[in-house]
Structure 1
Amino acid sequence: MTDFTDKASLDAFNNVIIEEFRANSGVVGGPFEGATLLLLTTTGAKSGQPRLSPLAYLTIDGKMIIVGSKAGADTNPHWVHNLRANPRAHVEVGTDSYDVVARELPADERDATYPKLVELAPTFGDYQANTSRVIPLFELQRA
């Protein structure tokens, strides 16, 4: 399993997924086979540089939801910090590519949505159980 606390390992892991995603019109195998994935480009909160992250997404109540799980690590993924600083981003979904605005779900909406997320993807329940932080959820809306 990849050590998600080690940036170099995480970057290498993500780069393989990104290459496979782009080579296969958004379809990847391995641990993400059959998952709905997107590529999220955020603006670095400190650097102002584009930052690319492959992420699972789920459609819940008609909304595209991404999960700041970092596999249950005790810290948020970097993209969470970036979206909080600048909610404008870009996604690639399959062969489609478009700008989005991210909205972090407030506590009540997040708490109502998380069980629906776990019903669709039980692994996210394990991730939340493995950390004391509240895993944030973001809705991505086409800009």
Structure 2
Amino acid sequence: MRLSEVILRLGHRRWFATAGRLLMPLDRRLIRLTGGRLSVTGWRTAPPTLLLTTRGRTSGRLRERPLLYAWDGDAYVVIGSNWGQAGHPAWSGNLLADPAATVTIAGQTTAVRATLLEGAERDRVWPQLLRVWPAYRDYDARSGRTLRIFRLEPVRRGG
């Protein structure tokens, strides 16, 4: 069994979510230091990960968070699962307050604008996210809330 298959199976376990929350600061540093080549979950076998930078809605400080993502055309789709916890993750509130953000993938940083997806648009991308991380279904059931899904559209400069 490949590492990616093991990770996908373990993602459904509560203890894995707890470990993930604890490893998040290490993952953020590792992604930043290696230009996105390495993550706590592995190398090329890991689900696709980006580093999202938002502006804190209260502090005004820049906040970084590694997130799994799916492609939607030329945009990225991310979900505020918060590992199945009852509360929304802080980064999702930051995007609601200020949708301007950046994503860093493999050392390349791109300015993006976030849109909260609802209704049919949300339903359309849900299967894409489940292909990346099937445990989102468990996190959704466990959280007792509607998980926020954002489409991160690259900002076109000039022209």
TM-score range, shorter chain: 0.7 to 0.9
Q: Aligned runs of 1:45-124 on 2, under 5 Å?
A: 45-124=57-136
SS in 1 for 2:69: strand
| AA matched with 2:70 | L
SS in 1 for 2:76: strand
SS in 2 for 1:130: helix
CA distance in structure 2 between the aligned counterparts of 1:54 and 1:125, rounded to whole angstroms: 20
What 5-or-longer segments of structure 1 have no aligned partner? none
CA distance in structure 2 between the aligned counterparts of 1:30 and 1:97, rounded to whole angstroms: 20
Among candidates 29, 52, 60, match of residue 40 of structure 1? 52
CA distance in structure 2 between the aligned counterparts of 1:15 and 1:81, rounded to whole angstroms: 19
Q: Tell me which moved more, 59-68 or 121-130.
A: 59-68
- Which segments of structure 1 move beyond 6 Å, counting only runs of 4 or more? none
CA distance in structure 2 between the aligned counterparts of 1:120 and 1:55, rounded to whole angstroms: 11
Q: CA deviation at 1:120?
A: 3.5
Number of equivalenced pairs: 138
Deviations 1:48-103 (A, max 9, x none): 11111111111135531011000111111000100000000111111101211111
> What's the counterpart of residue 6 of structure 2?
none
CA RMSD of aligned residues (A): 2.2
CA distance in structure 1 between the aligned counterparts of 2:54 and 2:103, rounded to whole angstroms: 9
CA distance in structure 1 between the aligned counterparts of 2:101 and 2:48, rounded to whole angstroms: 18
> What's the counterpart of residue 27 of structure 1?
37
- Percent identity between matched residues is 29
Deviations 1:86-133 (A, max 9, x none): 000111111101211111112221123213321342111111121220
Q: Return the index of the structure with the highest Cα Rg.
A: 2
What 5-or-longer segments of structure 2 have no aligned partner? 1-14
SS in 1 for 2:143: coil
| AA matched with 1:99 | A
| AA matched with 1:16 | L
| AA matched with 2:32 | R
